[in-house]
Structure 1
């Protein structure tokens, strides 16, 4: 497993940085991306032939393609892709502009799809590989006031990951969508969490959610990113890895609450909702 080649986006901070450090310490070969390659190199703090830092703009296909090409040329293969890059966006739907929403989708969704599109030819040729798409528990339950657009991007990651898993299964390629809960990274800091420019005072529940996340949760998240990174490496080594990986006790509790809520709604409407087909008419 120490010969695996990993490609990790958004690696200069947070979970991505923890993962890259853990991989390099374990003898893996790693290509990692950030918008600023010097910042990435300094954050990782290791210079070795097993580490290839790359400056990439994920929203530009040409930039992504060049990074994948350099990775394969440098290491000779591409075994595990981790789509980790992304950022949080906080604000009620009414508060956020069209540009705010589209930019969040461009990075969190289409940036990952760009990487997948460019990585798959090599993986299909190898008839092996593993793609880990970092979503969020907010991609499974949207019950977070002020995080509607962000949750929508992560729901999208869940959706395309599930379809992708079926599409690439015949080629021996695995896909796992990773849904972390609250991990102690810089995700809730100003560098990773955008807030609305024109806040609407009427949305008191959104302001309260914003205050709690920025002042109470930030720095006190229960999840250890190093332990999350270790588990992701373990999952990538499994012969039959899970399609869904929830990380953290809080993620499990929120997912279970969502499942119970859906089951309750389904049960309450089952008789009426399953009676909406065409009635059979019998002719004598």
Structure 2
């Protein structure tokens, strides 16, 4: 077992962020747990013994704040244990509705949290990681970026597709500095987020049926007891970062496996991503002749 890891986790007061915080400290690590409202940590912290409690430090952090404010919070976090080993960009919002009715304003509101927030938090920590020439950046994405061909998810799926692409390029940019990047793509884990469709400012009657179907779907999701266990899912994330548990064999030198840029969590996520890749492959094969032979030298 390696040395303890110091984690900075955004959106750590609920959901997967809280599950990751729990798993990390259970395995002897230290966590800078951040959220917009730190009082939401109180029930969780009250359950910890004094020794374990000493390995959790809460930070008041709004990922939509200006970069200078986020940098100030990161400096506060660095002062606690002297370093940050792993950033986990987990904070995010869900907005549901037909894309025409949500419009660019609604989509950009979501992008401010789900995309710009990830960039600003990461950039606030990167000088520290580059100086140390080591560290891990985790971006929590979504299978919605791969399974999005139905009404209501355009803004959320687009924001997650944006951070997926950002993470891929960031991986190449940071590799020379010994910094790893991993995009975690969860399927359905535990109690899902349930937000009713936002009442549109300018509703279109053509979307009435779709809006009704979205509301019924979200209501059904409130009672969904299937899907993955958040603690088990986040245990896998800790395994990969630390090279332990389920990931130990694959992380050994000579295993032939490289650090995973993508980590798909849950059978539903694996199924949906495979289906998207197969569909794209089929389209590519069927239409490749149409898109070929277009260079200046082709006659």
Measured in 2, the distance between the counterparts of 1:201 and 1:215 equals 24
Q: Which residue number in structure 2 is paired with residue 271 of structure 1?
A: 289
Measured in 1, the distance between the counterparts of 2:3 and 2:141 equals 26
Match of 2:214 among 178, 189, 209: 209
CA contact (8 A) 2:197 2:214 kept: no
Q: Deviations over 1:163-218 (max 9, x none)?
A: 00000001111000011111113422x4xx66344454422235323422332464
User: What TM-score, normalized to structure 1?
Assistant: 0.91
Q: Deviations over 1:82-123 (max 9, x none)?
A: 000001111011111433211100000000100110111111
Q: Which residue number in structure 2 is paired with residue 167 of structure 1?
A: 173
Measured in 1, the distance between the counterparts of 2:240 and 2:199 equals 37
Q: What does 1:1-284 correspond to in 2, within 5 Å?
A: 1-45=2-46, 46=48, 48-60=53-65, 61-188=67-194, 190=195, 195-198=198-201, 199-203=203-207, 204-216=209-221, 218-238=223-243, 240-280=258-298
**Across the two proteins, how many residue pairs are aligned to each other?**
278
Which segments of 5 or more consecutive residues in structure 2 lack a partner in the other structure?
244-250, 252-257
User: What TM-score, normalized to structure 2?
Assistant: 0.87
CA contact (8 A) 1:2 1:29 kept: no
C-alpha change, 1:212 and 1:63, in structure 2 (3 Å) is same
Shift of 1:64: 1.4
C-alpha change, 1:221 and 1:63, in structure 2 (3 Å) is farther
Q: After alignment, is 102-111 or 59-68 more displaced?
A: 59-68
C-alpha change, 1:180 and 1:201, in structure 2 (3 Å) is farther
Measured in 2, the distance between the counterparts of 1:144 and 1:33 equals 33
Q: After alignment, is 199-208 or 55-64 more displaced?
A: 199-208
Which segments of 5 or more consecutive residues in structure 1 lack a partner in the other structure?
none
Q: What RMSD in Å do the two structures reach over aligned CA positions? A: 1.9
CA contact (8 A) 1:135 1:158 kept: yes
Q: After alignment, is 31-40 or 95-104 more displaced?
A: 95-104
Q: After alignment, is 134-143 or 211-220 more displaced?
A: 211-220
CA contact (8 A) 1:13 1:186 kept: no
C-alpha change, 1:40 and 1:255, in structure 2 (3 Å) is same
Runs of at least 4 residues off by over 6 Å: none
- SS at the partner of 1:202? helix
C-alpha change, 1:267 and 1:186, in structure 2 (3 Å) is closer
- SS at the partner of 1:138? helix
